[in-house]
Chain A
């Protein structure tokens, strides 16, 4: 048996096997439930790491190395699986790793593993680790699957699988306003994906009756398609992805969902789920419909910079720590979308980097917000203060993450943000709106100043100053052991990617050049 041929299948479905075992364990035996979940997430992460190491070791990020491998192996990519699935609609179980999906898949298994570690002693009310961890595992199946799917229907299925677990996670373990937040999250996303599915179907019928992403990209029928049809289809796809990102003005579900979700839910939502949308743009919408993408680019870029400014201003108006981080997500995803809208390899490389960096940094910020709430039972900025004297370690970590988030050079956030802004200076020639994009660039640059503003303001409120009197008699715990184990790897990665960004750019550059270089 060739392990490589099974590797991606294992990454996606090990969590499902783990889920099966979790369901078999009685509810009272919490130790075994946590053990099984940990094992499953470690195994899934291990295999995804193996894929990454194998990829880097064989230098598959170099286009000629990869093509050499492909021609040696009868047109098959290193980890490709392509088996018939639903013949009646010509849909195949086609999964594959590429430089775009691979980093995000590893990010997904990595963050999920750390979430399981973090929740070890941190289960939010109403407790019930069995159901909680089962949902985390189901969520992981959907997230991992989306990043390897090469067939639109398969992509759609994985894209949708994440809905229900996240809905339950917010609705059962969430804050006081959880019922509203969970249904809002669900309906918004479902609305988008309904249009996305219609777009997929239109691609199928207009593009030579295939759901295979690679075949659709090469389809002559799509190249000859009437412009109006292209625009219509792109609109459907873009609506589905934009709601997931979320772009302004579809972002309103995000602050609610983030604020109400339990810590682990917020982390997964910010770190991975939002990337499903941006990944969809880069992987599906842009490469298959490049002309329509050029037409939409000024609009997408415009919404992106509105998102940057709006998100930043929104942050300044918040009184709740988690809600503030949620709005900062809107702003950061704006930078990612600006890079995508530029249509250049430079901008899209930056966008993918931005996705990973935002996943790590904002995920980390939500972890801290969760721990702050766990300790103080409040996230009200006005009641917090002086974290550095109460829990110095946590204070320093929060400060570090805020610096990373505002794009300090040397940390991961910089390499997502700065090149994205630069890319707007010279958008793809086919877009033919250079002046407009330069305007966007200026606005986005103002956005970074605002980002520094709200993050430093947040630090001042939470980290500096003197503790409020109400906490005088409370015993405050600093970072716990489980938290250290969960957080150190993320903090390390933020530094590593900041110092040596080329590790990630190396991976993404070849597929990005292939898709958008021509």
Chain B
């Protein structure tokens, strides 16, 4: 038995080191499940501790792999561990750690099943770490389903709450439909190119194979499938209901990590697979998705009175901003495509930077929302009135996150927006510049509703019963991590720039 294990480690076809983060994560998932079976009813915070420590342990091999710096390819190129994958894995794991910090008290104090919650959360994260490495249609699909299925259950986790049930059902139905569409589209692409491996697909497409129309349909359907996942207009309408109905920590997780999972899948598919075929006009589809998502998301957010719904619409708009670099890249690949290589670098960097920055600021904003809801038991924006007068610390920090979401220097959001504009302007031409202008006008609209909350907190008088509530330690830690991140990146964006540089050497 031992000899077999030794043999396996020596077998070059299976790189244990490359899979160490996922293995550690699987171990944690099992430990979370078993802990509840072995010691039922122990301290309410037991499983959350195991989960958070497990996530941090999974981070160690990510770091050693990054230290190692070798690109590791497994399963014939279907699974790559390179700087890009590692950066995203690290981001997913840290985002999960913050999500657990946010959840501890919420889940522990409410009427929830503890170990199931963390089990589902971690399983979804497992899908994300796999997604970061997936370079094959099949593994992308499997990863996407691993991400999605646990979140359907999580969205409906408040069993006796109708809104939560609605959230779960809606999310599930939409998710299933989009998966079906995506699979259908992928089957066309496989049919024309004869491969599921992204690198082979790119090679086949660059040779302009027969059946461009079929490829176009396939690409279109897959992109539509992903548009559902990242809640891009016009496939966004599930998002506000699902976000509002889900337990708040789950909403934070959905809006950040799960959305990032969808974007990573899109990155992989477009930059490693479809990019070689501009004649299918996939970029026009992305252009419209981007323009419509930002505009519609922002207009929708303007009239919201509930902060979670507002953040839901804002995340639709932010998703639109994140689609801009994709479109920019597509625009650059048209015709002669002389600057396509340059734009590819900026666009790729931009999406990764935007994802990371968005993750930090949105998780931070949700953490503050949860902290405030502990006192007010309300998600209405009017319940933020006068926050500055009785809880100035939280008000200042929330203002920082909102300013960052609005893209106002010197907090991190500006850099993400800046790289997005940069990609669009670099792509240039009528399509590129007009998209940049649309994005510019949209950032002004967005500032209005973010500042609306700021106005509530700072300018309005507080209600008579307003008292500062104590924020529990884990939640404070989550808020602190995000605050430091938002300020540090805003003042010295080179930290993320470094990551982006590493990432492009791999892409």
Contact = CB atoms under 8 A, between A and B. Distances in A.
A195 B409 contact: no
B414 A160 contact: yes
B419 A89 contact: yes
A161 interface: yes
B93 interface: no
Interface stretch (A68-76, A183-191, A265-273, A401-409): A183-191
A205 B425 contact: yes
Interface stretch (A112-120, A163-171, A415-423): A163-171
A85 interface: yes
B409 A86 contact: no
Interface in B406-430: 408-410, 414-415, 418-419, 421-422, 425-426, 428
Contacts of B493: 86, 88-89
B408 A194 contact: no
A179 B455 contact: yes
Contacts of A172: 388, 458-459
B36 interface: no
Contact of B425 (A84, A163, A179, A201): A201
A250 interface: no
Interface in B490-507: 492-494, 497-498, 500-501
Contacts of A205: 425-426, 428
Interface residues of A, number: 35
Contacts of A94: none
A485 B58 CA distance: 63
Contact of B422 (A89, A178, A194): A89
A160 B409 contact: yes
Contacts of A179: 455, 459
Given A160-B408, A202-B425, A186 B447 contact: yes
Given A86-B494, A161-B409, A190 B444 contact: yes
A446 interface: no
B303 to A, nearest CB: 16
Interface of A: 84-89, 126, 131, 153, 156-157, 160-161, 163-164, 167-168, 171-172, 178-179, 182-183, 186-187, 190-191, 194-195, 197-198, 201-202, 204-205
Interface string B468-507: 0000000000000000000000001110011011000000
B437 interface: yes
Interface of B: 349, 388-389, 392, 399, 403, 408-410, 414-415, 418-419, 421-422, 425-426, 428, 433, 436-437, 440-441, 443-444, 447-448, 451, 455, 458-459, 492-494, 497-498, 500-501
Contact of A167 (B410, B444, B451): B451
Main secondary structure, interface of B, reads: helix
Contacts of B425: 198, 201-202, 204-205
Contacts of A187: 444, 447-448
A280 to B, nearest CB: 16
Contacts of B421: 197-198, 201
A164 B403 contact: yes
Contacts of A197: 418, 421, 440
Contact of A89 (B399, B447, B497): B497
A145 to B, nearest CB: 10
A175 to B, nearest CB: 12
Contacts of B428: 205
Contacts of B392: 131
A171 B455 contact: yes
A88 B409 contact: no
Given A88-B501, A187-B448, A205-B425, A168 B440 contact: no
A484 B459 CA distance: 32
A183 B447 CA distance: 9
Contacts of A191: 441, 444
Given A89-B497, A157-B409, A194 B414 contact: no
Contacts of A178: 459
A43 B279 CA distance: 62
Contacts of B501: 87-88
Contacts of B437: 198
A-B interface, 8 closest residue pairs, ranked by CB to CB distance from nearest: A88-B497, A194-B440, A201-B425, A157-B409, A160-B409, A171-B459, A191-B444, A86-B493
Given A88-B494, A157-B414, A194 B409 contact: no
Nearest to A195: B440
Contacts of B497: 86-89
B335 to A, nearest CB: 18
27 contacts: A85-B492, A86-B497, A88-B498, A88-B501, A89-B419, A131-B388, A160-B410, A160-B414, A161-B409, A161-B410, A164-B399, A168-B458, A171-B458, A179-B455, A183-B451, A183-B455, A187-B447, A190-B447, A194-B440, A194-B441, A198-B436, A198-B437, A198-B440, A201-B436, A204-B425, A205-B425, A205-B428
A84 B498 CA distance: 13
Given A164-B403, A194-B444, A201-B421, A85 B494 contact: yes
A156 B409 contact: yes
B401 to A, nearest CB: 13
Contacts of A201: 421-422, 425-426, 436
Contacts of B418: 89, 153, 197
Nearest to A163: B408
**Interface hub of A88, A89, A126, A198 (most chain B Cβ within 10 A):** A88
**Interface hub of B409, B415, B436, B451 (most chain A Cβ within 10 A):** B409
A285 to B, nearest CB: 18
B378 to A, nearest CB: 22
B443 A190 contact: yes
Contacts of B415: 86
A186 B409 contact: no
B466 to A, nearest CB: 15
A195 B418 CA distance: 12
A164 B414 CA distance: 14
B301 to A, nearest CB: 15
B440 A87 contact: no
Contacts of A126: 389
Given A178-B459, A179-B459, A190-B443, A88 B500 contact: yes
A157 B447 contact: no
Contacts of A86: 415, 492-494, 497
A484 B295 CA distance: 53
B453 to A, nearest CB: 12
B192 to A, nearest CB: 36
A161 B490 CA distance: 11
B255 to A, nearest CB: 24
Contacts of B408: 160, 163-164, 190
Contacts of A198: 421, 425, 433, 436-437, 440
Contacts of B409: 156-157, 160-161
Given A157-B409, A190-B408, 19 more contacts: A84-B494, A85-B494, A86-B497, A88-B497, A88-B498, A89-B422, A157-B414, A160-B408, A171-B458, A171-B459, A172-B458, A172-B459, A186-B451, A187-B444, A190-B444, A194-B441, A198-B421, A201-B426, A201-B436
Contacts of B349: 88
A202 B421 CA distance: 10
A29 to B, nearest CB: 15
Nearest to A167: B451
Contacts of B451: 167, 183, 186
Contacts of B419: 89
A164 B392 CA distance: 16
A164 B428 CA distance: 31
A230 to B, nearest CB: 14
Given A86-B497, A87-B494, A89-B422, A157 B410 contact: yes
A190 B500 CA distance: 27
B426 to A, nearest CB: 5
B437 to A, nearest CB: 7
Nearest to B497: A88
Contacts of B388: 131, 172
A440 B392 CA distance: 52
